[in-house]
Amino acid sequence: MEQEARPVLYRQLLLWDPSLGSEDDEDDEEETSELVVSNSWRPHNSLGRNEVGRLPGAWARLGAALLLLVTGFSLAARQLYIRGDPTGSQGSAAPRPGGHSHAPGVYHHSAIISPAAMCSHLGRELLIAGGNVVDAGVGAALCLAVVHPHTTGLGATFWALFHNSSSGSPTALMPGPAQPLAPGLQLPSALPSLRLLHARFGRLPWPRLLGGPASLAQDGFLVDTALATALAARGTKGLCPLLCHADGTPLGPGARATNPKLAAVLRLAAQAPDLAGDALLSLLVRDLGLRRPQSRPLPTLEPAVQQAIPQGILSTTPGPSACPELLAMVGAALHSGEPSPDPCPARSPAPVGPVGTVLATVDSGGSVLLLTSSLSSPFGSGRLSPSTGVLLSDLGAKPIDNAWACPLLLHGSSDDTEADMLGLVASGTPAVARVVTRALLSHLAGPQTQVQHQRRQGPTRSTSVCGQGTLLQVAVQAEHAHVSSVPSSCCTVQGF
């Protein structure tokens, strides 16, 4: 378990609007406010002189009180305007009274990045409530299971890599060997996996994490562009009435979708976490007319695979994923001293990697959670369970099933004060290892080398990861949490 978090005293860092005045002006106004408060309650002299318009002493005190009230309201309104953030997405921002501001994606305490704005917001709320990075990550993952059923869900497979700043050791969440429930259908393991991760490392009560996702499923959520695009490309066969209009056409951006059956499963998981997995399996078996398996693999928490490099220690998840191959590739590139291979080779007829999603959480103390999940294909098997609202994965049917599960952490050496921790996680591309390798080597090369390389080679050919997928990067530098993504428009950052 991590050390108990200190009370949340941070104020949200928001973009400073130059039109509202300088930071010095703001400080001056705050000082003026204190001066007004002090003077307004200063005792009048014993001679009862009139200092305000030569009114009697009682009227003078009343006038001063009214002036103080108006001034206080004016200052409060101005501060709310300065600190307000209707989007709350990509930035840090307004100068703190003590005095400095930050670029977008840099936070004093902690941050989360995910592909859905509402899930990033939910994760931030869990952080503010006293939760740690595991609480925020698990809560956001359950949220994504509701609002992004095309990439993840309770039928998806989850991997995670967690670095505990208290113990200094990284741990990998492993889902266990893929086991078919039926041909083309994988046995679900999401609830046991996320529950295990939280039970070991979380801080908030388990039901607190499921409350938000259950409410979204019950009360409805707005379909975002990512889900609407996936629906338009696939069609609604097998997905009605969950994700289609009454006439069978797919829901578009901004349409409201509900999944009350999934909400019931999440509420059951909150009340009886040890029974939720079995209850879900029983309902799935009944809905799909299948035979209940005699046994099922259980998720595990295992020590991460580590490799020492001159810049620190690399950590990733153990096999059967392709991550040990990733470590070997990084080691070879560092040993050779030559530029890493192009992470975006020419397109080939090779199969595209599994469709999945990634998210990351980080705090300024050095704790990091990198989480990745997949249904294999868009909307998984496309078979919706009417009693649960769950789409099952067909991941076990693919020969490249675990090649994408490669989150990577770089723990800097003890004397490195500029880059304490770096986390990378990518999805949606068959070239995950090369993409993450290039990102890591670019980070190790330093800003000057990166600029020189860009001048020689020209601008990056694509703002996406090999034309598809996403790459998330989190870091801890100088006691601040840093978050970014490629492409930058793929995901929403929330923090404080």
- When comparing pLDDT for 58 and 134, which is higher? 134
pLDDT digits (tens, 9 = 90+) for 477-492: 878 999 999 888 889 9
Q: Give me the half-sphere count of Cα atoms (radius 13 Å) on the Cβ side of residue 147.
A: 31
- Residues 436, 482 within the same domain: yes
Q: Is residue 236 situated within a structural domain?
A: no
Number of domains in the chain: 2
Q: Is residue 90 situated within a structural domain?
A: no
Pick from 468, 457, 458, 421: which is nearest to 440 by CA? 421
- Residues 374, 460 within the same domain: yes
- Collapse the DSSP code of 111 into the 3-class scheme (helix H, G, I; strand E, B; otherwise coil) and give the result: strand
Distance, in Å, from the CA atom of 426 to the CA atom of 120, rounded to the nearest integer, reads 17
Q: Is residue 243 situated within a structural domain?
A: no
Query: What would the mean pLDDT of 54-74 be, rounded to a whole number?
Result: 52
CA triple 57-59-62, angle to 5 deg: 110
- Residues 46, 116 within the same domain: no
Q: Please, are residues 285 and 199 in contact by the beta-carbon 8 Å criterion?
A: no
The predicted structure's pLDDT at residue 353: 59
- Residues 75, 158 within the same domain: no
- Residues 338, 415 within the same domain: yes
Q: Please, are residues 178 and 110 in contact by the beta-carbon 8 Å criterion?
A: no
The predicted structure's pLDDT at residue 406: 83
pTM above 0.85, yes or no: no
Q: Is residue 229 situated within a structural domain?
A: no
Distance, in Å, from the CA atom of 396 to the CA atom of 469, rounded to the nearest integer, reads 21
Pick from 425, 445, 423, 443: which is nearest to 433 by CA? 425
- Residues 125, 59 within the same domain: no
What's at 442, amino acid-wise?
Answer: S
Query: What would the mean pLDDT of 277-301 be, rounded to a whole number?
Result: 88
Distance, in Å, from the CA atom of 128 to the CA atom of 9, rounded to the nearest integer, reads 10
Give the largest Cα separation in the chain, rounded: 97
Q: Which of 150-159, 215-224, 273-282, 434-443 has the lowest mean pLDDT?
A: 434-443
- Residues 206, 158 within the same domain: yes
Instruction: Report the percent of the chain where pLDDT is more than 70.
Output: 66
pLDDT band at 49 (very low <50, low <70, confident <90, very high): very low
Q: Is residue 289 over pLDDT 50?
A: yes
The first and second tokens of residue 159, run together, are 């991997």
- Residues 381, 431 within the same domain: yes
- When comparing pLDDT for 187 and 325, which is higher? 187
Q: Give me the half-sphere count of Cα atoms (radius 13 Å) on the Cβ side of residue 404.
A: 29
- Residues 189, 131 within the same domain: yes
Query: What would the mean pLDDT of 133-145 be, rounded to a whole number?
Result: 98
Instruction: Give the helix ranges, DSSP H, for 148-224.
Output: 190-201, 206-219
- When comparing pLDDT for 494 and 37, which is higher? 494
Residue with tokens 């080691």: 331
Q: Please, are residues 140 and 110 in contact by the beta-carbon 8 Å criterion?
A: no
Count of C-beta atoms within a 10 Å radius of residue 54:
9
pLDDT digits (tens, 9 = 90+) for 14-34: 322 333 333 333 333 333 333
Q: Is residue 44 over pLDDT 50?
A: no
- Residues 28, 118 within the same domain: no
pLDDT digits (tens, 9 = 90+) for 140-177: 999 999 999 999 999 999 999 999 998 888 999 998 88
- The answer to whether the bond into 241 is cis (omega within 30° of 0) is yes
Residue 485 burial class via C-beta count within 10 angstroms: exposed 0-12, middle 13-18, buried 19 and up: buried
pLDDT band at 311 (very low <50, low <70, confident <90, very high): confident
Q: Is residue 453 over pLDDT 70?
A: no
Q: Is residue 346 situated within a structural domain?
A: yes
Distance, in Å, from the CA atom of 475 to the CA atom of 363, rounded to the nearest integer, reads 9
DSSP state of 394: -
- When comparing pLDDT for 434 and 235, which is higher? 235
Q: Which residues pair with 182 in a beta bridge?
A: 185
Greatest mean pLDDT among 64-78, 241-255, 348-362, 424-438: 241-255
Residue 35 domain boundaries: 18-83
The predicted structure's pLDDT at residue 301: 97
The first and second tokens of residue 340, run together, are 């890493």
Q: Please, are residues 299 and 289 in contact by the beta-carbon 8 Å criterion?
A: no
- When comparing pLDDT for 294 and 428, which is higher? 294
Instruction: Give the helix ranges, DSSP H, for 310-367.
Output: 323-336
> What is the crossing angle of helices 57-83 and 23-40, to 10°?
160
- Residues 132, 275 within the same domain: yes
Pick from 156, 218, 101: which is nearest to 356 by CA? 156
Q: Is residue 440 situated within a structural domain?
A: yes
DSSP assignment of 366-393 equals S-EEEEEEEEESTTTTS-EETTTTEEPP
- The average confidence (pLDDT) of the chain is 76
